Amino acid sequence: MPFIQVDDVRLHVQADGDPARPCVVLSNSLGTDLAMWAPQAVALARDYHVLRYDTRGHGRSGRGTAPVTLERLGLDVTGLLDALGVARAHFCGISMGGMTGQWLGSHRPERIARLVLANTAARIGTASGWTARAGQVRRDGMDGVADGAAARWFTPGFIGRERALVDRLVATLRAQDPDGYAACCDALAGADLRPDVAAVRAPTLVVAGSRDPVTTVADGERLAAAIAAARLAVVPASHISNLEAAPAFTAHLLRFLAGEVSARPATSPASRA
């Protein structure tokens, strides 16, 4: 089952674990692919049916023919679940994947059991910033974006310790289809979920990186405070926290999916735990 056709696009997927167990969907960040979830997939597969996929325009997935919007990215997920006969799943998304999760939680709540929103916000950046980036990569290719990616994604200490891993992720970004990447930038330019996230009713864990310059701890606090059933966990990492702080991230994820409390309420002033 390496590919599933959903509406206008052929999506690359990888499934691990027992299909009879509860399903967990993992959604990648902008410019990465499903390989970014390797540490979590191994841990989750012991107790869950783990579904990873390359967001349209990323990795081995096609771009499709429809304009890319946040709604379209969310409908890709429900299309995958429909194809697999999964009525309801847990969902964990990081950055752009976290915005997809917010859309699902607010617009398709019946499909989401528990929701994990990592290194994300209800509004990331500005429309003009994303439009400019889309224009840059369509005009000049991926090198300009890839050259500065490591410093946006990871702390200097992690880059020094895990150079091979960081280089692999940057190489994935550099090899990204510029049109597919730009189309997702266009989706982010138009994505503002601030009016919508209060509609999320699924139990939600918001994960923030303590040194994330892209989606800050303050962004995570605002997002968690807007969702009634949300809690906040802060891990020692920059933007790609599931890799930089993999043991802490995975521990929070496993405890949350099991229904255990591992983070403080979002409304607490001491929520940075």
The reported pLDDT for the residue numbered 29 is: 98
The two three-digit tokens of residue 74, written as one number: 């969310």
The residues pairing with 27 across neighbouring beta strands, listed in sequence order, are 53, 93
Which residue's entry shows tokens 């040194």?
211
What global pTM score does this model have? 0.95
Higher pLDDT, 242 or 1: 242
How many C-beta atoms lie closer than 10 Å to residue 167's C-beta? 12
Tens of pLDDT, residue by residue over 151-194, are 999 999 999 999 999 999 999 999 999 999 999 999 999 999 99
What is the sign, positive or negative, of the torsion defined by CA atoms of 244, 248, 251, 255? negative
Residue 110 CA, distance from chain mean position: 20
Whole-number pLDDT of residue 260: 75
Cα of first residue to Cα of last residue in the chain, in angstroms, is 39
Average pLDDT over residues 72-83: 98
Which residue from 169, 29, 35 is spatially nearest to 98, judged by alpha carbons? 29
Domains of the chain: 3-265 (3.40.50.1820)
- In DSSP notation, 56-90 reads TTSTTS---SSPP-HHHHHHHHHHHHHHHT-S-EE
Per the CB < 8 A criterion, the answer to whether 165 and 157 are in contact is: no
Phi, psi of 233 (to 5 degrees): -125, 135
Average pLDDT of the chain is 95
Report the b/e string of 62-85 with b at 16+ CB within 10 A: bbbeeebbbbbbbbbbbbbbeebe
Residue 53, pLDDT > 70, answer: yes
